[in-house]
Amino acid sequence: MAGVGFAGAAYLLWGVLPLYFVLLKPTGPWEVVAWRVLLSFVFCLVLLTVMRGWGAFRAIIRQPKLLGWTALAGLLIYVNWQAFLIGTLTDNVVETSLGYFINPITTVLLGVFVLGERIRRLQWAAIAISAVAVAVIVVAHGSIPWIALSLTASFGLYGLIKKKIGPAVDAVSGLTLESFWLIPIAIVQLIIVAQTPGGLTMGTQGVWHATLLALAGVATAVPLLLFAAGTRRVNLTVIGMIQFLTPVMQFIIGVAVLHEPMPAERWAGFIIVWIAITVFVVDLLLAARRGRRIAQAAPV
């Protein structure tokens, strides 16, 4: 039960993050991501000290191959953060939810084409239905949902790398290194934002705003650490079903709280996506049931 609690808490926090970042207006997405990178790095350094993780961290930095993978993971999570903040702060939270709705199906596709995994018929059906959904949104709405596609592609590839490096890199050390590689990008972004007419907003919008912006690193790191703790304790079938908490909450926030427009063609696309997700979850449940039957039938 502890694993379900950790994973559930992570996805719940990710689900409400749009409301947190909306409170940071008038800070723009480029400045928010820059502070998010820098403050995540600082927070991780504190965690490494408190959790006495410097020994494991030093062992990782002695392995150039692992360092290369963490650098690539850092670039992918940067793309994910930037696309998410652009979506959230430009009134496109519903589109960000679309990205996370189709992310599990993207992960399955990556498993097939990158890892050579074989998938079941219902999974292929879910992939085909989700492709139809994206096509409906593109054709009917007249534009490519690039925020959603950027989110699902970047997070899917990020998860692939995390799976590849596996237990060799713990959660805190991994996030520390990923943030470290992004520091030059964050500094350049802050310099560029400072040259714009509005300039940097840190410290110019009152104490409450400055406090919220300063906590961006904590808001980033805590759900990632809860997610890591949860995935170590429960199987992937459970994670596969819990993960839909995030896009469901983001969709509700976008429609009911932020009152983003939902024309008929967007509803059509989302309904088709939800059909694909239903097929996907049914497949997960059937696979889990077959797994239990095989385990019970196996000789002791």
Distance CA 73, CA 81 (A): 12
Q: Is the pTM of this model over 0.75?
A: yes
Query: Which pLDDT score is estimated for 131?
Result: 83
CA dihedral 277, 283, 287, 288 (to 10 degrees): 40
Query: Which pLDDT score is estimated for 102?
Result: 85
State the total domains in the chain.
1
pLDDT band of residue 106 (cuts 50, 70, 90) is: confident
Is-cis flag, bond preceding 26, omega within 30? Answer: yes
Query: Which pLDDT score is estimated for 118?
Result: 77
Query: Which pLDDT score is estimated for 268?
Result: 86
pLDDT band of residue 37 (cuts 50, 70, 90) is: very high
Pick the range with the lowest mean pLDDT from 4-13, 136-145, 154-163: 136-145
Q: Say whether pLDDT at 195 is over 90.
A: yes
Q: What is the mean pLDDT of residues 185-197?
A: 95
Q: What is the mean pLDDT of residues 141-167?
A: 84
Reported as a single tens digit per residue, the pLDDT across 220-272 is: 888 878 877 776 676 655 666 677 888 889 999 999 999 998 888 888 888 88
Query: Is the Cα torsion angle 16, 17, 23, 25 positive or negative in sign?
Result: negative
Reported as a single tens digit per residue, the pLDDT across 118-151 is: 778 887 888 888 888 878 877 776 778 899 999 9
Query: Which pLDDT score is estimated for 284?
Result: 74
Pick the range with the lowest mean pLDDT from 23-32, 155-164, 212-221: 155-164
Q: What is the mean pLDDT of residues 45-66?
A: 92
Query: Which pLDDT score is estimated for 237?
Result: 58
Query: Which pLDDT score is estimated for 126?
Result: 82
Residues 6+ apart with CB under 8 A from 268: 136, 140
Distance CA 223, CA 219 (A): 7
Reported as a single tens digit per residue, the pLDDT across 20-34 is: 999 999 999 999 999
Q: Say whether pLDDT at 298 is over 70.
A: no
Nearest to 284 by CA among 105, 162, 129, 115: 105
Nearest to 35 by CA among 217, 180, 263: 217
What range does the domain containing 127 cover?
Answer: 2-297
Query: Which pLDDT score is estimated for 214?
Result: 92
